[in-house]
Amino acid sequence: MPKSALWTLRLSIAALALASARNAWVPGSAINSWLFMKAGLPESVASGVDVLGAAIMVGVVISALVRPSRVLLLTGATWMFCVALARWDNPGATADGLALLSHALRIGALLALALLSGQPDLDRRPSAGFAGWVLLLGTSLTFIGHGIEALQHSGPFVDLIIGTVKSWTGQRLSQASAEQLLTVIGLQDLLFAALLLLRRWRWIAGWMAIWGLATALSRVTSMGVDSWHQSVLRLANGGVPLTLFLAWHHLIRLSSITRKP
């Protein structure tokens, strides 16, 4: 994997880990709600687990930026999986039933960097190829989850579209129009997820990167700068497909150089 792709992945992980730490520290994670509301544990225990989770994710931020640690990355992936599982098992909204899909990209990013860490040859060792498949599968699953949520005309998605259009144009989009747009967006997400899995075209990964970054930034354009953490958490939705695009572009260049006489 080229350095450009590796650093894109590392920065994406640092961003999602920073936002995850903030979410655990300030409002409380889905794990907190599950432990307190569903498991019936004392609030002090649930809050203590959140403090631990925030500390883990701060460690992941430092690790991703300075020196990737396999132990920290795997621990961070476990935390993100538990967050997704808690949302799925104790849903506060209809979309939480898709939490395992929507978190697949974040979990996959952490697992992939864990596979890539610790050895110098990032192109030839078997774990590099496996890491690529983890990123590919995680990206596809998350886009499938978002596509299903869009086709269900999720309330938060409707609000995002209406808020973003109003922020950019000053015009108010009707709910019916927003829902029509969501149908198109949902079909697009499902189509590109399938093409990414079946064809592995780099231009598909490139478009998914652009779309992922645009939807991440829509949290700020719709809800204001106070929602920065919502956007930062989702930057990986563009960063991971961009990692795939850069890695595949690198492989194509290597192949063309090898074929030259």
Helices and strands (H, E) in the chain, number of each type: 12, 0
CB atoms < 10 A from the CB of 259, how many?
A: 7
Q: What's the CA gap between 209 and 201, in Å, rounded?
A: 13
By the 8 A CB rule, do 202 and 213 touch? no
Residues 6 or more apart whose Cβ sits within 8 Å of residue 213 = 235, 237, 238, 239
pLDDT in tens, 119-162: 655 555 667 889 999 999 999 999 999 999 999 999 889 999 99
The distance in angstroms from the start CA to the end CA of the chain is 24
Q: What's the CA gap between 246 and 135, in Å, rounded?
A: 13
Pick from 12, 193, 27, 200: nearest CA to 107: 12
Is the Cα dihedral 209, 213, 214, 216 positive or negative?
Answer: positive
Q: What's the CA gap between 84 and 244, in Å, rounded?
A: 24
pLDDT in tens, 70-117: 999 999 999 999 999 999 987 666 668 899 999 999 999 999 999 998
Q: Is the pLDDT of residue 221 over 90?
A: no
Q: Is the pLDDT of residue 210 over 80?
A: yes
What pLDDT does residue 167 have? 85
Cα torsion through 202, 203, 206, 210, rounded to 10: -160
Q: Is the pLDDT of residue 23 over 90?
A: yes
By the 8 A CB rule, do 96 and 88 touch? yes
15: tokens are 């961003």
Q: Please give the single-letter amino acid code of residue 117.
A: S
CB atoms < 10 A from the CB of 165, how many?
A: 18
Average pLDDT over residues 51-65: 97
Q: What residue has token string 């086709």? A: 151
pTM of the model: 0.92
User: Distance of alpha carbon 207 from its chain centroid, rounded?
Assistant: 15
Q: Name the 3-class secondary structure at 93.
A: coil
Higher pLDDT among residues 155 and 239, named by residue:
239
Residues in the chain: 261
Residues 6 or more apart whose Cβ sits within 8 Å of residue 43 = 36
